[in-house]
Amino acid sequence: MPRAPPPGMILVTAIALFVWFMFWVGQQERPGDRLAVAPAPMPKWMKPKQPKPPIPTVGPITQAGDPIMGHLGNETLKEELGRAAWKLFHTTMARFPDEPTQDQSDALKSYLYLFARLYPCGECAEHFQALLKQYPPQTSSRSAAAAWGCFVHNQVNERKKKPIFDCSNIGDFYDCGCGDDEKEQMSNLGAKSTAVAKAEPIDVEREGPTRGG
Q: Where are the domains of the chain?
A: 86-197
Dihedrals φ, ψ of 67, to 5°? -55, 140
> What CA–CA distance (Å, rounded) separates 73 from 156?
18
- pTM across the whole model: 0.61
Nearest to 184 by CA among 201, 168, 197: 168
Neighbours of 122 (CB within 10 A): 14
Alpha-helix residue ranges (DSSP H) falling in 69-120:
75-95, 102-118
The per-residue pLDDT for range 150-189, each reduced to its tens digit, is 999 999 999 999 999 888 887 667 666 666 666 666 566 5
Nearest to 133 by CA among 118, 119, 150, 116: 116
pLDDT in tens, 124-156: 999 999 999 999 999 999 889 998 999 999 999
CATH match of 86-197 with 1.20.120.1200: no
Can you point out the beta strands (E) in the chain? none
Q: Is residue 206 pLDDT above 60, yes or no?
A: no
